Structure 1
Amino acid sequence: MGRFGYVGIMVLGFLGLISSGEAQLKLNYYATSCPKAEEIVLDYVNKHIPNAPSLAAALIRLHFHDCFVRGCDASILVNSTSSNRAEKSAAPNLTLRGFDFIDRVKSLLEAKCPGVVSCADIIALVARDAVVVTGGPSWSVPTGRRDGIVSKASEALTNIPPPTSNFSTLQTLFGNKGLDLKDLVLLSGAHTIGVSHCPSFSNRLYNFTGKGDEDPSLDHAYATNLKARKCKTPTDNTTIVLMDPGSSRTFDLHYYELVLKRRGLFQSDAALTTSSTTKAYITELVNGPLQTFFDEFAQSMIKMGQVGVKTGSAGEIRKQCAVINS
């Protein structure tokens, strides 16, 4: 049996392994309190994402950035106030999108079931449905998360892996959240859709070691093309660059193929090939059926979606996702 040999294990079987502390999350949590909650979310995603496909990646990223700070508690959605600089204002989050999308879904749910569905659950459900709309896998999202009442920009700076991360940094930051190297590889696979801007990787093109040099781990032809056609200056913050050129709107294995060809856009992408373990994972995925990636990605998303969740009487159910209840 290979590293990904347990593909046949059902997602529900995986859920059965959840520790008792996290087991308060459950499938169909809103079955009685708001029976149409997940249907409302799905309908909205299906209606709007096909018209704005790049937003799918943004919504997955929103979920990722939320879970890596204080757990999956929607703290990423909170606005700053005169007395508090919230996560949303931290440098790693300044390019996040999708806040209005979440707010609109929340409004629909509040109209149907006031004070029932958490913003944290909305983020998790929207991320899943956005993956499905782009041709990716579906999975059962356990719900019952409650919204956090603390959001600090300083915590985002220390917990969210930057695109300039080396392997050691990635391993540490993922490990701090209970995510292993397999999860690191699989969750990085979300880079198969979406876009970036030059400042997130331009050091690899123009000044990798501070001497005006190019990152030797980046394919030279690819780097030359990026400098000539996209990032003509290191600080260009307006040009859109595809993370998976040639397959940026389809949830598939093409991103991993690029990584093995030294054409991953970010330093953190290239870092995945500096470990024999993660490089072997990637090679196995590329050489296997697409369904293997789908099954494994789904399980890692379920796992990430339960990092540090608040349930029971912890936190609150926000009336507005951007504002902590007074």
Structure 2
Amino acid sequence: MARLTVAMLFFVLALALAPRNMDAVVVESLQPGFYNQSCPEVEQVVRDVVDSEVGMDHTLAPGLIRIFFHDCFITGCDASILLDESPAGDVPEKQSSANGFTLHGLRTIDIAKSTLEAMCPRTVSCSDIVAFAARDAAVAAGLPTYEVAAGRRDGEHSRMDDLPGNFPVPGHTVPRLTELFQKRGLSQEDLVVLSGAHSIGGAHCFMFSNRIYGFSKTADIDPSLDPAFAKLLREMCPRPKPDDNPEEAPKIDFDQRTAQKLDNSYYNELLARRSLLTSDSALVQDPATRPIVESFAKDDALWQKKFGEAMQKVGKLDVLTRPEEGQIRRNCRMVNRPKSEMRTHMGRISWPKPRHPMLQMMNWFIRGFQQPA
């Protein structure tokens, strides 16, 4: 199981050549206070769970925000990322190399869901819990609170092959990132705003090793990196080997100054050429996005306001609101099944375990599903 996620790259890379059309629809029928009558304590319950969990492990804050974004960006905010299996037999999103072992915070969602099921059975959707939890995680990390409209229902499908060609990866350029965001109803400013979530959390060394080892034929290190920062990264991240297990790779904080605080320090780090991911560095190198980076670097309150608004916008993407569109799962990890089917369903699907690919395959993934020429 430890190496399943990386091995799935063979499958992902093959599918990347034929991306699907994933244009989003922003649904405005969600309502603030949706559960005021049916489960009035829902937001307080989720907030208490998140505060308790983040209090014990601060890395859960970026993890919960990431779960929300990764769920909503593909097929909409339908909690499909939480499914351990898909009734149709598809390999679920959770197994994608963009998710897999890097997902952090699933247990927190499970705790919130089980608590709410005991209080208000079959009432609160997993997709709404994810949206509440992401907001509360951001607040726990220092962001002012913002309103989260609710009324989402949970999807019944999850497909790993929906991701390739439709999801941002660390090697993407600003034009490609902008294209992906616009397909999902998000602007270039939203791209820069939401990238600020990298003020907290971190990246495993394999996600940026191509910048500090063997960058090009003429430079071993990406020249856009601050030399002192590049030296520090090489001290923390050893040169990759073909048989490395990515799950054991060190994880480095995105923001070396205020790693646990969600603030505009991320943008100042970009301007100082101290970013980890190529996609982050691109925001300050591209003339279209650099002015936005500079404005947020100067005004923390402006960025915090914009971040809350962008998260609200993300939370409206392709949501399911009608009973015929989705369900209220009893368990966030599986779709509801008829009782007769539940009697015959034994355990989770065990996906085949391909052999571990070369680390270079991971580098192709990081660079954006493109094999170097």
Decide: shared fold, TM above 0.5: yes
Aligned mate of 1:29, from 22, 27, 34: 34
Instruction: Quote the residue 2:173 is aligned against.
Output: 166
- Measure the CA separation in 2 of the matches of 1:99 and 1:227: 31
Letter in 2 for 1:88: K
Instruction: Quote the residue 1:203 is aligned against.
Output: 210
Aligned mate of 1:118, from 122, 125, 138: 125
Asked if 1:300 is matched to 2:310, the reply is yes
- Measure the CA separation in 1 of the matches of 2:52 and 2:131: 18
Letter in 2 for 1:295: K
Letter in 2 for 1:286: A
Letter in 2 for 1:268: S
- Measure the CA separation in 2 of the matches of 1:152 and 1:214: 36
- Measure the CA separation in 1 of the matches of 2:301 and 2:228: 32
- 1:72 shift after superposition: 0.7
Normalising by structure 1, we get a TM-score of 0.90
Asked if 1:91 is matched to 2:101, the reply is no
Q: Is the deviation greater in 209-218 or in 198-207?
A: 209-218
Instruction: Quote the residue 1:218 is aligned against.
Output: 225
- Distance of aligned partners of 1:67 and 1:210 in 2 relative to their CA distance in 1, 3 Å threshold: farther
Aligned mate of 1:108, from 96, 112, 115: 115
Letter in 1 for 2:140: V
Letter in 2 for 1:141: V
Aligned mate of 1:275, from 277, 282, 286: 286
RMSD (CA atoms): 1.7
> Is the 1:135–1:250 Cα contact (8 Å) retained in structure 2?
yes
CA shift digits 1:22-61 (9 cap, x unpaired): 2320100011111111111011112221211111001101
After superposition, residues 1-326 of structure 1 pair within 5 angstroms as: 22-80=27-85, 83-94=89-100, 95-209=102-216, 213-228=220-235, 230-234=236-240, 235=244, 237-288=248-299, 290-313=300-323, 314-326=325-337
Normalising by structure 2, we get a TM-score of 0.79
Q: Which runs of 5+ in 1 are unaligned?
A: 1-19
- 1:308 shift after superposition: 0.9
- Measure the CA separation in 2 of the matches of 1:195 and 1:305: 23
- Measure the CA separation in 2 of the matches of 1:280 and 1:81: 43
- 1:146 shift after superposition: 0.7
CA shift digits 1:164-188 (9 cap, x unpaired): 1111221111111111111001100
Q: Which runs of 5+ in 2 are unaligned?
A: 1-24, 338-373
- Measure the CA separation in 2 of the matches of 1:160 and 1:284: 26
Percent identical: 40
Letter in 2 for 1:31: N
> Is the 1:80–1:89 Cα contact (8 Å) retained in structure 2?
no
SS at structure 1 position matched to 2:319: coil
Q: Is the deviation greater in 122-131 or in 157-166?
A: 157-166
